[in-house]
A and B are shown apart, each in its own frame.
Chain A
Amino acid sequence: MAVMNIREAIASTLYSEMERDENIIVLGEDVVGGNGTAGGPEAIGGIWGTTPGLWAKFGPDRVIDTPISESAIIGAAAGAALCGKRPVAELMFADFVGVSLDQLWNQMAKFRYMFGGKTKCPAVVRLIYGAGMQTAAQHSQSVYAMLTAIPGLKVVLPTTPADAKGLLTEALRGDDPVMFFEHKTLYGVKGEVPDGEYRQPFGQARVVREGGDVTVVACGRMVSFSEKAADKLAADGVGVDLLDLRTTSPMDEDAIIESVEQTGRLVIVDESPPRCSLAADIAAMVTERAFTSIKAPPAMVTGPHSPIPFSRTLERAWVPSPQKIEDAVRRVLGFR
């Protein structure tokens, strides 16, 4: 096993998968970078550093710098996927879903169904998301719930380097459109990554820890925040079952239900406003499927119903914190 961070895990997986499968192409803004400048191609590369060396190795027909045209990026990925390619399209910020939503929602997601199951659209869209870098209201959002709500799309959120490799490989080997969310604050997270071919199937939550007193369900950056809360709770003798969803579509409902049936208490942590959120979705699902098992109302730890602010202190106030998660756990444990 090699130790690397999530950025390196994604970059190396893209590279090795492109070596393996000549149908994989990469397109997006500055995935090469430097085109049309004095510095020339690859003079700088993308701001996230996840596509270095691809252009030099695989050439301009497979690694395509696009203009700032998100609809064209996603639409071109959809068209290429219908023609047998496996495009990896990058949305530099997941917030730009707003510019390209029709191509995701009305086009890519619906082809197979509308066309009677005769088509495949194996496109991977990489969306860099999340708050924590003071990127303010239009560059910080976690729009996974919106895309999870769309039939036809799969939604993936790795939180470890091993999962980044395993889930990206799975996305590139599968035949459905995959929305691959990369949290901008997690790129530097280090961990062991299995060597060679490594796939992590979708719809299997990761059991981060088992504690038995309360179930905490999280995804993305909220997993590590929940671990911090769980550490503090453990010091007080409170045991947390912590689930990292890994994928929200498909979602491992059974893992959530099994844990809740044991603990009877549920906290859902979601880096998102509360309305029509993933947290609300899971709360409803658990209430419907495990009503007789729950001993307290499910608690949702989310941001407020507001855009994400810029100021350092305000942004921290917006994002669900380890303290808020801990408070929510104590609240559901105290419910009688």
Chain B
Amino acid sequence: MQLNRDELLQAYRQMATIRTFEERLHDEIKTGEIAGFTHLYAGQEAVAVGICEQLTHADKIVSTHRGHGHCIAKGCDVKGMMKEIYGRAGGLCKGRGGSMHIADLDVGMLGANGIVGGGAPQAVGAAIALRLEGKGSVGIAFSGDGACNQGTTFEAMNLASVTKVPAIFVFENNHYSEHTGDAYAVGTDKDIASRAEAFGIKSWRANGCDFFDVFSVFGELLEYVRAGNGPAAIELDTERFYGHFEGDPQRYRGKGELDRIRDERDCLKAFRARVTEGALLADADLDAIDAEVAQLIEEAVAEARADAMPDNDTVADDVYVNYY
């Protein structure tokens, strides 16, 4: 794996954008301006970016309720996303979807999904469609240690295995399904990837807090799937820096756990250390990106606040392409 300077800068920019976006939401939600359920992706940036930086818009992803990171990594417009989360007319989905239902098919983002496990069968359907196109594109289902227990995920893996389509099951194990630990809820003495292996699906494992490990391992996986070998899976050991949803008191966390994972498992810190120690990039390069990203998010919030609310006359628009 060799990433050039521009690719490294872009990867950092994407991860920093996700982190800053989520941290800003964490603050803004407390003001009461943003209602509903918001599930923050901070901590898991290396996964979304390490994967999506290797995809094109022709590759399709299906995301989860914790979908902001996947959206940004896949190329969704950040300002459009912020407006969507503020429920504004100019939102990426006209304010109809909100945090849990952001999609942008133009960039291959088939949708975040409020139903845990809802997306995996759709990624297989995307893969069925993409195989017919014959261009080596892939359909990816992002799932977590929660969705890995849903029947839809099992059905999807089996269907992908049977049909040998280019579907990829990405299991981001952040160790909590809502407020319950994976040690309890994932019934196996092995790991989640081993479940995919039980379906005859070749599986990989990577450190989901290390961009370079994700990039390298997923790159190998992607080459395997693009070559027409059928489906694949990857489990990524990662961390969720915030609660299941904003407002979650997180009493299930161990003493000092949040401090520890931020100290030891922060993918942005690890990235910076790696590239500066290896003299691939300078601190100043990364600081400049941090400043750019801070400015972008500042503008995104200001523009979202200033944007109009949707017109009430549109409340029942776009249910059908045409009805009568």
8 A-B residue pairs with CB within 8 Å: A25-B129, A79-B122, A79-B128, A103-B122, A107-B122, A111-B111, A112-B320, A116-B93
Interface size class, chain B: 35 or more
Contacting pair A75 B92 (CB below 8 A): no
Contacting pair A78 B125 (CB below 8 A): yes
Nearest first, the 4 closest Cβ-Cβ pairs linking A and B are: A75-B121, A79-B125, A117-B318, A79-B122
- Chain B, 289-324, CB within 8 A of any chain A CB: 316-324
- Provide the B68-92 mask, 1 if CB < 8 A to any CB of A, else 0: 0000000000000000000000011
Does A20 make an interface contact (CB < 8 A)?
no
**Which of A62, A71, A116, A174 makes the CB contact (< 8 A) with B155?**
A71
Q: How far is the CB of B318 from chain A (nearest CB, A)?
A: 3
- Provide the A80-96 mask, 1 if CB < 8 A to any CB of B, else 0: 11111101000000000
Q: How far is the CB of A63 from chain B (nearest CB, A)?
A: 11
Chain B residues whose CB sits within 8 angstroms of the CB of A217 once the complex forms:
none
- Provide the A196-213 mask, 1 if CB < 8 A to any CB of B, else 0: 000000110000000000
Q: Which residues of B contact A (CB under 8 A)?
A: 60, 62, 91-97, 101, 103-105, 110-111, 113-115, 118, 120-132, 139, 151-152, 155-156, 158-159, 162-163, 316-324
Does A236 make an interface contact (CB < 8 A)?
no
Chain B residues whose CB sits within 8 angstroms of the CB of A112 once the complex forms:
318-321
Q: How far is the CB of B80 from chain A (nearest CB, A)?
A: 10
Contacting pair B122 A116 (CB below 8 A): no
Q: How far is the CB of B36 from chain A (nearest CB, A)?
A: 13
**Which of A73, A75, A115 makes the CB contact (< 8 A) with B96?**
A115
A115 and B319 alpha carbons, distance in the complex (Å): 10
Contacting pair A83 B318 (CB below 8 A): no
A62 and B128 alpha carbons, distance in the complex (Å): 9
A77 and B95 alpha carbons, distance in the complex (Å): 26
Contacting pair A79 B121 (CB below 8 A): yes
Q: How far is the CB of B59 from chain A (nearest CB, A)?
A: 11
A120 and B322 alpha carbons, distance in the complex (Å): 11
Chain A residues whose CB sits within 8 angstroms of the CB of B152 once the complex forms:
71-72, 75, 102-103
Q: How far is the CB of B107 from chain A (nearest CB, A)?
A: 11
A115 and B129 alpha carbons, distance in the complex (Å): 20
A78 and B127 alpha carbons, distance in the complex (Å): 12
Chain A residues whose CB sits within 8 angstroms of the CB of B322 once the complex forms:
174-176
Does A118 make an interface contact (CB < 8 A)?
yes
Chain A residues whose CB sits within 8 angstroms of the CB of B62 once the complex forms:
79
Does A119 make an interface contact (CB < 8 A)?
yes
Q: How far is the CB of A22 from chain B (nearest CB, A)?
A: 8
A66 and B160 alpha carbons, distance in the complex (Å): 10
Does A154 make an interface contact (CB < 8 A)?
yes
A81 and B110 alpha carbons, distance in the complex (Å): 11
Residue of B nearest to A107 (CB): B118
Chain B residues whose CB sits within 8 angstroms of the CB of A250 once the complex forms:
323-324
Contacting pair B139 A152 (CB below 8 A): no
Contacting pair A103 B94 (CB below 8 A): no
A194 and B69 alpha carbons, distance in the complex (Å): 53
A72 and B165 alpha carbons, distance in the complex (Å): 14
Does A64 make an interface contact (CB < 8 A)?
yes
Check A66/B159 contact, CB under 8 A, given A82-B122, A118-B105. yes
A151 and B320 alpha carbons, distance in the complex (Å): 8
Count, chain A residues at interface, CB 8 A: 47
A-B residue pair count with CB separations less than 8 angstroms: 166
A61 and B158 alpha carbons, distance in the complex (Å): 16
Does A69 make an interface contact (CB < 8 A)?
yes
Contacting pair B129 A84 (CB below 8 A): yes
Residue of B nearest to A66 (CB): B159
- Chain A, 93-124, CB within 8 A of any chain B CB: 102-103, 106-107, 111-120
Q: How far is the CB of B126 from chain A (nearest CB, A)?
A: 4
**Which of B103, B132, B321 makes the CB contact (< 8 A) with A114?**
B103
Contacting pair A114 B124 (CB below 8 A): no
Contacting pair A115 B93 (CB below 8 A): yes
Contacting pair A106 B105 (CB below 8 A): no
Contacting pair A102 B118 (CB below 8 A): yes
A77 and B126 alpha carbons, distance in the complex (Å): 9
Contacting pair A152 B319 (CB below 8 A): yes
Does A74 make an interface contact (CB < 8 A)?
yes
Contacting pair B92 A116 (CB below 8 A): yes
Chain B residues whose CB sits within 8 angstroms of the CB of A113 once the complex forms:
96, 318-319
Chain A residues whose CB sits within 8 angstroms of the CB of B129 once the complex forms:
25, 79-80, 83-85
**Which of A82, A114, A151 makes the CB contact (< 8 A) with B93?**
A114
A27 and B121 alpha carbons, distance in the complex (Å): 13
Does A76 make an interface contact (CB < 8 A)?
yes
Chain B residues whose CB sits within 8 angstroms of the CB of A87 once the complex forms:
125
A176 and B19 alpha carbons, distance in the complex (Å): 37
Residue of A nearest to B152 (CB): A71
Contacting pair A79 B115 (CB below 8 A): no
Does A67 make an interface contact (CB < 8 A)?
yes
Chain B residues whose CB sits within 8 angstroms of the CB of A118 once the complex forms:
93, 103-105
Residue of A nearest to B314 (CB): A117
Contacting pair A106 B125 (CB below 8 A): no
Contacting pair B163 A117 (CB below 8 A): no
Chain A residues whose CB sits within 8 angstroms of the CB of B122 once the complex forms:
75-76, 78-79, 82, 103, 107
Contacting pair A106 B128 (CB below 8 A): no
Check A115/B103 contact, CB under 8 A, given A103-B121, A176-B322. yes
A115 and B105 alpha carbons, distance in the complex (Å): 9
